[in-house]
Amino acid sequence: MSEVENMARLEALLFVAGDPLSFDDMATFLGVDRDEAVSLVEQLKRRYQRDPMSGLTIRQIEGAASLATKTSYADTLEAFYGKVRDLKLTDAAYETLAVIAYNAPATRAEIEAVRGVNSDSVVSRLIERGLVREVGTLETPGRPALLDVTEQFLMDFGLSSTRELPPVDLLMYDTITEFTQEKQSAAEIASAPRPLVIAIDGPSGSGKSTIARLLSEHLGILTLDTGAMYRALGVKALRLGISPSDQEAVRSMLSETTMDIDLSDRVQKTLVDGTDYTPYIRTPEASRAASDISALPVTREYCVRIQREIGKKQALILDGRDIGTYVFPDAPVKFFLTASHEIRAKRRLLDLERQGDPSTLEDVMRDMEFRDRQDSERQLAPTRRADDAVLIDTSDMSIREVVDVMIDVVRQREQVQPSWSQTRHG
Ligand code: DC
């Protein structure tokens, strides 16, 4: 049986199964070995991801997979089913679920430490409802139980896995944020000065980092190059001999990785496990590794958490791909920079030449095309202009002109929202 036929058979099988089917069962029904079944599922999943005309996707839950609908069509389905996710949970239950999903496996004491209140009865109710289960005990005195969310929870919330898939991150982050915000009075929120966040997104070579640096000097606001974070993690993976696309290997790498961003002397240092990776992250290999590793949900969760933490504390310019759409969707000032393919490639070539890299324009264009496609077609947080971002085509503009336009926009917005607290440096 050819691979194409096997994919068609797998699709038919998952369609009639409805519920998640284990890889072992799939292998038996299809007459292939388990590894082949896993690979067929991956291929089918990629096919759905790439096909904008398909409303389907594959949902994987620990050793099993099922056919599911893309979360982007939830509105249509909600209209069809009525409110599918109306679980009528209390705020406390939502928050406890979020804490468990985010920190799993978690003990009752850890949940209490995060929520600040005893949560035992909420946890018991969640266990009764089948949304949380005990998955083991901790090897410490008293052997406290370790809790995790259940498959039922994942199914009810239309999620695939607590760690692997994007909606969990979005949902959990939003749940916690919403909950916290509900607890603050509306007046408090309105009057609290919020650090100014300026989002600059766009493809590589659009001039983001140079422009972010100049804007930073002009406005006296620190700037965070988020691409450097993905680059540094990509380089660490390569050094360890790990494929930057291997989700499981990257997950285990990240569990033992500490990343620190030092913005203290205006030139960003991206430290991984205490070592500054800045000198190693601008090579073509690092670019490819960054593009691969940044497509993994586990990496995004890791980096976005750090980015949000830094942006909460001080005024910040962030440049990246998904800052205005995902990391700080509420950023008051957003830009999306772009430029023609050739100009972007020439800019990148100049950067590489300065480092003594022998790449040709053709090499750079080919590489860039591949990365652009990968970065903008991935399912999770692709390079995309936020609806409220100011679009600037930098192809025929000097850097100075671009920066001037941006400063104007910032100044105009500042007049509307003077309560931004800008932690200026220098
Ligand atoms: O901007 P850059 O070329 O340094 O980014 C390196 C890679 O990291 C790029 O391929 C896309 C990815 N990236 C991302 O996915 N999200 C960001 N916010 C920044 C970069």
Distance CA 367, CA 374 (A): 11
Residue 154 has pLDDT above 80, yes or no: no
Residue with tokens 């025929």: 396
Q: Is the C-beta atom of 277 inside 6 A of ligand 1?
A: no
Same-domain status, 390 and 251? yes
**Residue 91: per-residue pLDDT:** 77
Same-domain status, 161 and 15? no
Question: Of 159, 175, 191, which residue constitutes the final position of a domain?
Answer: 191
How many angstroms is it from 322 CA to the middle of ligand 1?
A: 9
Q: Is the C-beta atom of 375 inside 6 A of ligand 1?
A: yes
| Cis preceding linkage at 358, omega within 30 | no
Residue 229's alpha-carbon distances to 45, 271, 279, in angstroms, are: 27, 9, 13
Backbone angles phi and psi of 293, in degrees to 5 = -70, -30
Q: How many domains does the chain fold into?
A: 3
More confident residue, 250 or 175: 250
Same-domain status, 210 and 114? no
Per DSSP, what are the bridge partners of residue 337? 392
Given a contact cutoff of 8 angstroms between Cβ atoms, the answer to whether 127 and 133 are in contact is: yes
Question: Could you tell me the CATH number of the domain that includes residue 56?
Answer: 1.10.10.10
Q: Is the C-beta atom of 203 inside 6 A of ligand 1?
A: no
**Residue 417: per-residue pLDDT:** 64
Tokens of 136: 């083991």
Q: Strand 64-69 and strand 21-22: pairing?
A: antiparallel
Residue with tokens 């290997």: 249
CA nearest to 230, candidates 275, 180, 262, 272: 272
**Residue 184: per-residue pLDDT:** 45
For the stretch 372-418, pLDDT in tens is 888 888 777 788 899 899 999 999 999 999 999 999 999 888 776 65
Question: Of 191, 219, 246, which residue constitutes the final position of a domain?
Answer: 191
Please classify residue 168 by burial: count the beta carbons closer than 10 Å to its beta carbon, then call 0-12 exposed, 13-18 middle and 19+ buried: buried
Given a contact cutoff of 8 angstroms between Cβ atoms, the answer to whether 105 and 147 are in contact is: yes
Same-domain status, 210 and 112? no
Same-domain status, 46 and 106? no
Q: Is the C-beta atom of 294 inside 6 A of ligand 1?
A: yes
Percent of the chain clearing pLDDT 90 (strictly above):
45
Same-domain status, 183 and 201? no
| Cis preceding linkage at 382, omega within 30 | no
Same-domain status, 203 and 167? no
Same-domain status, 124 and 58? no
How many angstroms is it from 86 CA to the middle of ligand 1?
A: 36
Coil, strand or helix: which one is 350? Answer: helix
Q: Is the C-beta atom of 311 inside 6 A of ligand 1?
A: no
Is 360 inside any structural domain? yes
Residue 322's alpha-carbon distances to 28, 202, 209, 299, 362, in angstroms, are: 41, 8, 14, 14, 27
pTM of the model: 0.58
For residue 177, give its domain range.
84-191
For the stretch 163-175, pLDDT in tens is 543 433 434 444 4
